[in-house]
Amino acid sequence: MKRKMALAKQTILALSGDEAVAYAVKQSDVDLVAAYPITPQTIIVERFSEYVHDGEVDTEFMCAESEHSALTACLAAAAAGARTFTASASAGLALMHEILYVTAGCRAPVVMAIVNRALSAPINIHCDHADSMVERDASWIQIYVENSQEAYDSTIQAFKIAEDPDILLPAMVMLDAFFLSHTLESVNVLPNEAVLKFVGTRKIPLVRSHEDKLVPFKLDPENPLTMGPLDLYDYYFEHKRQQEEAMQRAPQTIKQVHDEYGKISGRRYGNGLVDPYRLEDAEIATICVGSTAGTTKTVVDQLRAKGVKAGLLRLRTYRPFPSQDITKAVGNVKAIAVMDRSHSFGAHGSPIFHELRHVLYDAQTHPQVVNYIYGLGGRDMPQTLIHEIYKDLQKIVKTKRVEKPVQFIGVRE
Which residues bind to another protein, rule: CB under 8 A?
Answer: 31-32, 34, 58-60, 62-66, 68-70, 72-82, 84, 98-99, 102, 105-107, 168, 201, 205, 207-212, 217, 219-232, 234-235, 237-239, 241-242, 245
Enumerate residues 6+ apart whose C-beta is below 8 A from 132.
Answer: 93, 114, 116, 142, 144, 172, 174
Q: Which is nearer to another protein, 228 or 331 (CB)?
A: 228
Compute the least distance from the CB of residue 111 to another protein, in Å.
15
397 three-class SS: helix
Compute the least distance from the CB of residue 253 to another protein, in Å.
16
Compute the least distance from the CB of residue 275 to another protein, in Å.
31
Return d(Cα 396, Cα 284) in angstroms, integer.
9
Q: Which is nearer to another protein, 244 or 380 (CB)?
A: 244
Q: Which is nearer to another protein, 65 or 413 (CB)?
A: 65
Compute the least distance from the CB of residue 81 to another protein, in Å.
6
Q: What is the CA radius of gyration of the chain?
A: 21
Q: How far is CA 216 from the centre of its chain?
A: 29
Compute the least distance from the CB of residue 42 to another protein, in Å.
19
Amino acid at 264: I
Return d(Cα 271, Cα 130) in angstroms, integer.
26
Return d(Cα 9, Cα 191) in angstroms, integer.
7
Q: Which is nearer to another protein, 29 or 153 (CB)?
A: 29
Residue 24 main-chain phi, psi, to 5 deg = -60, -40
CB 378 within 8 Å of CB 124: yes
| Integer angstrom CA distances of residue 169 from 288, 311, 332, 349 | 24, 33, 34, 29
Return d(Cα 365, Cα 175) in angstroms, integer.
33
Q: Which is nearer to another protein, 108 or 284 (CB)?
A: 108
Compute the least distance from the CB of residue 60 to another protein, in Å.
5
Q: Which is nearer to another protein, 105 or 270 (CB)?
A: 105
| Integer angstrom CA distances of residue 73 from 63, 91, 119, 373, 386 | 10, 18, 24, 36, 42
Q: Which is nearer to another protein, 8 or 82 (CB)?
A: 82
DSSP H helices in 322-368 = 323-330, 351-361
Q: Which is nearer to another protein, 246 or 369 (CB)?
A: 246
Compute the least distance from the CB of residue 233 to another protein, in Å.
11
Compute the least distance from the CB of residue 214 to another protein, in Å.
9
Task: Tally Cβ neighbours within 10 Å of residue 334.
Answer: 19
Pick from 159, 360, 394, 209: nearest CA to 285: 394
Pick from 343, 395, 329: nearest CA to 372: 343
Compute the least distance from the CB of residue 56 to another protein, in Å.
15
Compute the least distance from the CB of residue 63 to another protein, in Å.
7
DSSP H helices in 54-117 = 67-79, 90-105
Task: Tally Cβ neighbours within 10 Å of residue 212.
Answer: 6
CB 75 within 8 Å of CB 52: no
Q: Which is nearer to another protein, 78 or 282 (CB)?
A: 78
Q: Which is nearer to another protein, 109 or 351 (CB)?
A: 109
DSSP H helices in 106-212 = 130-133, 148-163, 192-199
Compute the least distance from the CB of residue 37 to another protein, in Å.
14
Enumerate residues 6+ apart whose C-beta is below 8 A from 30.
Answer: 57, 59, 83, 84, 85, 159
Q: Which is nearer to another protein, 212 or 280 (CB)?
A: 212
